[in-house]
A and B are shown apart, each in its own frame.
Chain A
Amino acid sequence: MHVPDGFINAPVSVAAGVVAVAGVGVALRGARRELDDRTAPLAGLTAAFVFAAQMLNFPVASGTSGHLLGGTLAAILVGPYTGVLCVSVVLLVQALLFADGGLSALGVNITVMALVTVVVGYGLFQLVLRLLPKNRSSVGAAAFVAAVVSVPASALAFTGLYAVGGTTDVSIGKVAAAMVGVHVLIGIGEALITAVTVSSVLAVRPDLVHGARGLIKPPRLRTVEASEPKAGPGGPAEPSRA
């Protein structure tokens, strides 16, 4: 759920806005390194993808359904900096055009949903990947762990902001328990989708999974020459000339 206006008081909203501007500023610089002059079209299309993927509802339990948040997924696929930019732009457009999330709470939403999810998700992804053997199934496992933790982490970050600038005296323990409890469930759905999505992209275009770049070699085109080195002159024609 996007934070609406009036949930967090004005001073803390503005402070979160400053944090969000700083974070997006760092991401702007980093994204140039990840994508150079292709940044605008590729990050734009990825943002459109995140937006569309959020529309896909998946069943959670007993008739309720959740939908993807996509922070960790975007970070693993296109890199952490570009991931922050994509999710931030999605949040900006949702607040400006769809009234989804308050304008005064935009800083809170970007901090909690773009910065925290990506930093926690991507950091954890890299950490787990370093501990596991370098193969395809461990990339999926790392994506699962990263996504499953990133969603409750983002809920905890929101609870922290609420503790400082909340507008109602609900005991923070209660808020934390409720937020984390609900978001652990959402996180499991998110993690399943993230892991399977990353694995399926990895199977087709391993070069497009930024988080696993250099880890997994792209499928090599095996020529007849390579697989049957002893093929004589009467064998199949050399494919390298084709």
Chain B
Amino acid sequence: MGAGHAAGAAHRLYVPGASPVHRLPPQCKLVAVLAFVLLVVATPRERFWAFGVYALLLAAVAATARIPFGTVARRVVIEVPFVAFAFLMPFVASGEKVTVLGLELSENGLWGAWNILAKGTLGVVTSILLAATTEPRLLLLGIDRLRMPQLLTQIATFMLRYGDVVAAELGRMKVARASRGFEGRDLRATRVLAKSIGALFLRSYERGERVHLAMLSRGYDGRMPVVHDVSATAAQWTAAAALPLAAAFVTLAAWTMP
């Protein structure tokens, strides 16, 4: 369960900088990242070298963006639950058995574990690099430029903008519970926690009602005004295409080479 990250932590994921990767328009980066991840997933798992090349490509991006290795490594922790799952694979999968270090393991399961570890890790690192080089606000602007329905991007914008506020509200409730001697130990705690969640919903929703009225009084008509436009030139699209193009060659080679 990947809990433990706050909605309010979104802006702390961004590593400020002025590298060429930072300066690319968000929509270019989004398309490049999505294409790259799909190519990685479509690569046959038997080609170990291909995944090595993908990792090198990502390392090159990180180096260009001057994202420290430690920052990426610390955030990769998010994948711990599925690493645990991957380690189960060789024990539960069917098919031919091989003996490794005295353990009977399924060969197919070993391949499956490798497949999840390699592709999952590459995917996680790609997302980390995207979030580290693009401000959340710009990322949403990029989604908007890619013709995502307005309503969806608006919901996402409000969620990010008020995530901090709602998370802080939850934090205050936690302090209030603790200062009254509450300790979540067993199932009986559920009642208290659920009441907090109910109160949190009411406060969030009523805040939404107030925000809506405030917006109406400032002339909101269902569309958000575009204050900061991000347009991309052909050169920028080409620059962003470098990563997926290189990856496409690797994928092609991996499929065609014996």
Interface status of B242 (Cβ within 8 A of chain A): no
A55-B4, A90-B159, A167-B45 are contacts. A97–B131 as well, Cβ < 8 Å?
A: yes
Interface residues of B in 38-59 (CB under 8 A from A): 38, 40-42, 45
Cβ A49 vs Cβ B200 within 8 A: yes
Interface stretch (choices B17-25, B61-69, B114-122, B225-233)? B114-122
- Residue on B with the closest CB to A86? B155
Number of interface residues of A (CB under 8 A): 83
A interface list, Cβ under 8 A from B? 1-2, 4-7, 9-10, 13-14, 24-25, 28, 31-32, 37-49, 51-59, 66-68, 73, 77-78, 85-86, 88-90, 92-105, 167-171, 174, 178, 189, 192-201, 204-205, 208
Interface status of B139 (Cβ within 8 A of chain A): yes
A89-B159, A103-B123 are contacts. A197–B41 as well, Cβ < 8 Å?
A: no
Q: Smallest Cβ distance from B205 to chain A, in angstroms?
A: 6
**Chain B: interface residue count, which band?**
35 or more
Interface residues of B in 92-134 (CB under 8 A from A): 92-95, 108-109, 111-113, 115-116, 118-120, 122-128, 130-131
18 further interface pairs, Cβ-Cβ under 8 Å (given A5-B122, A40-B155, A196-B190): A1-B81, A31-B151, A38-B209, A40-B151, A45-B207, A53-B170, A55-B5, A56-B193, A98-B2, A100-B2, A103-B127, A168-B112, A169-B108, A195-B194, A197-B201, A200-B195, A200-B199, A204-B202
A41-B212, A68-B197, A103-B34 are contacts. A48–B204 as well, Cβ < 8 Å?
A: yes
Per the bound structure, the CA–CA distance linking A82 and B63 in Å amounts to: 41
- Residue on B with the closest CB to A167? B115
Interface status of B198 (Cβ within 8 A of chain A): yes
